[in-house]
Structure 1
Amino acid sequence: MLALPPENCSFQSLTSRGSQALDGSGVLLLIILGKTSLNLFVLGMRRKMVYQSFLEYFSISVAVIDFTLLATLSFIAYFEDFALWDVRFTKYHMCLFTQIISFTYGFSHYPVFLVAGLDYYATVSRTSRPPPAGQKLSYAVAVILIWISIFFYTLEDPTTYSSWTARGDVYFYQCPFYVSSQSYRLSLAILLVLFSVLVACWSEIVALIRSTRIASYMNETVLFFPSAAGHAQAGISRKQLSTKLTICFLGTWAPFVFLQMLLLILDARVPAYIEMNVPWLYFINSFLIAAAYWVRRPERRPTETAFSTDPFVSWEFCFVPFTEPEGQAEKPLSVITC
């Protein structure tokens, strides 16, 4: 179980054996503050006119939990030792609460990845807006159920504490934090997929990049790919689609991909409460959308609303030419907005 203090061990004896745990509370607060600020910054930077999806709701829930954790730890750090509803809170609980969050975050990667993947597989080829009330309610219920299930699993599983030794725990001023193997394996799998696609489609990627020009489109500076128009009438093969999807994905997430590579090469042990963050979730979001597009590859060309699922990546380029709904003029979208 979690690292609770023994019943016969007073708080004074705990601090005498691990006084550094208390000294690290300020640094812990700064880390949580930095992560919370990053979450809010990314949420503020995303496009507003996008479809509601499961990962969108889950990303918001992570930002809310991080903000709640920050407020709780700040309250404990300020009052240091107080009682609330007959429960005594000390700086030790800053470590305890962060441990619980670390386990909960660390066990959430697989279920979130699976549910989000099924969501996009079922909805990526839609061409009209879904019923907003039912769609939003189903996503909200799914997010709540996942959090509740993982939270109770964290508290009740007797092997939770022993799992610290799976990849090694991280001690931060005598406070151990869980390092998730799930995020490590997901990062490795995504990098392997990207590497395989780059190797298989390298010649197409190089040719497409060489044909790129900077142009102006609707008063915006865009990257224009004239060679993409050659596939307009004949359709697009899976290899061509893989090339376009990879360019669109790396055009936005290349720095994050390099960061993941660096973490894997250095075998950096990042605590789970830091690894689960909003940028990571949107990175996963874009990867799953690309995978769903590649797997489904709808024969009927999707309308413009079908691309409004990603707050950061413009996937329109992958399906040129693109036809507006009836009554509107046809316009080719072989551009990526800079």
Structure 2
Amino acid sequence: MNISIPSILLSLGGKCLLNWALVFLQRKHIWRSFVGVFSVSLAIVDTALTLIFTTIHFHIGGHLFLLDLQLTRYHICLVVQILGQVYSALQWPVVVIASFDYFYTIFLQPAASKAKWIGRSFVTILLWCLASFYIFLLSEFVPVLEDVSHHQIHQCWVFHTTQILQVVTLLSLTLSCAALHAVCTTPSIQNPQLKDQITDQSKTHSRRSVVCQVLHIFLNTWALLLIFLAVLLLLPVGIPSYLGLNVAWLCFLNSFVIAVVLCVVCPTLQLAQGLAAVPPDSFCEWKFKFNLAAEDRT
């Protein structure tokens, strides 16, 4: 679809303000997870590109020289399209890396150290580089530019993103299967000893309690956004690719991945005994769930 350059600049400016507002909201624990570190990098990239685009657009004549390279409105459209493709390519890797990060946090409960956020920063930089190399060298991406003078360019062709709906669909199916499995699981009766049967039944009820509380806490926080995404899935409405990756989406994804990891892996005993660490989340109070699970098991 074609979007005017002023509209692109306004939407990017609003995205930058939202990004930094959410980063500031999570400032106390922003470095304690991969998603937090990646959110900071995303806010920096968006802000830098928005300032460059705005300078080019409002410069006299619509062009600017930088290191003997003439930057024009062509470059705004070109970089917006490339940026959208890079953002789309980053969606699934962020989900996978965040899942491993939370699995490591929940089960191993590593001590806080400076090396951890340095490692997450390195992974974040590497991920940006790999995504960029993929778009330039391996993908079949072809930019769409008007064959007119840069003085006459007032709109840019922008691609839609479908990765958001793919991610939400897969995570929702995984979460639903985990909840269904927890509800339908019956305690084992093959052990002849009554004590073992009671233990198995207690574990089953504890697992159900954990899954139910995870779903309850997550839906109480993000139900409206899930309804909005469901409407987008049913209606032929596209999300511009350069807006597809933002800190608000990462905050939702952070809670979603935590919920999926807890429901699928569900370390019931560790949670009940307080032996599992809780990944940082500024929107969902997962600690309340663990207290309830411990009381239910007791």
2:207 to 238, 241, 253: 238
1:52 to 29, 32, 39: 32
Q: Which runs of 5+ in 1 are unaligned?
A: 1-20, 164-171, 203-233, 324-331, 334-338
- 1:89 counterpart SS class: strand
Aligned-pair identity (%)? 27
Say whether the 8 Å CA contact 2:258–2:279 is kept in structure 1: no
Say whether the 8 Å CA contact 1:106–1:276 is kept in structure 2: yes
Quote the Cα distance in structure 2 between the aligned partners of 1:305 and 1:312: 19
Shift of 1:239: 2.4
Shift of 1:303: 3.9
Letter in 2 for 1:156: L
- 2:70 counterpart SS class: strand
Quote the Cα distance in structure 2 between the aligned partners of 1:47 and 1:247: 26
Say whether the 8 Å CA contact 2:182–2:207 is kept in structure 1: no
Shift of 1:126: 3.9
The one-character-per-residue Cα deviations of 1:305-334 (angstroms, maximum 9, x if unpaired) are 9235212211112222588xxxxxxxx79x
Letter in 2 for 1:32: L
Q: Which residue of 2 aligns with 1:104?
A: 86
Residue 8 of structure 2 corresponds to residue 37 of structure 1 = no
Q: Which residue of 1 aligns with 2:105?
A: 123
* Greater fraction helix: 2
Could you tell which deviates more after superposition, 151-160 or 73-82?
A: 151-160
Q: TM-score, normalised by structure 1?
A: 0.70
Q: Which residue of 1 aligns with 2:187?
A: none
Shift of 1:274: 0.6
Quote the Cα distance in structure 2 between the aligned partners of 1:194 and 1:120: 16
Highest relative contact order (Cα 8 Å, sep 6+), 1 or 2?
2
Letter in 2 for 1:46: Q
Quote the Cα distance in structure 1 between the aligned partners of 2:181 and 2:236: 27
Give the count of matched residue pairs.
266
Quote the Cα distance in structure 1 between the aligned partners of 2:24 and 2:116: 23
Quote the Cα distance in structure 1 between the aligned partners of 2:67 and 2:240: 31
Q: Which residue of 1 aligns with 2:242?
A: 273
2:284 to 306, 313, 333: 313
Quote the Cα distance in structure 2 between the aligned partners of 1:309 and 1:273: 27
Quote the Cα distance in structure 1 between the aligned partners of 2:127 and 2:27: 26
The one-character-per-residue Cα deviations of 1:222-256 (angstroms, maximum 9, x if unpaired) are xxxxxxxxxxxx56533222110001111111121
1:151 to 128, 132, 143: 132
Quote the Cα distance in structure 1 between the aligned partners of 2:253 and 2:169: 12
Q: Which runs of 5+ in 2 are unaligned?
A: 145-152, 184-201
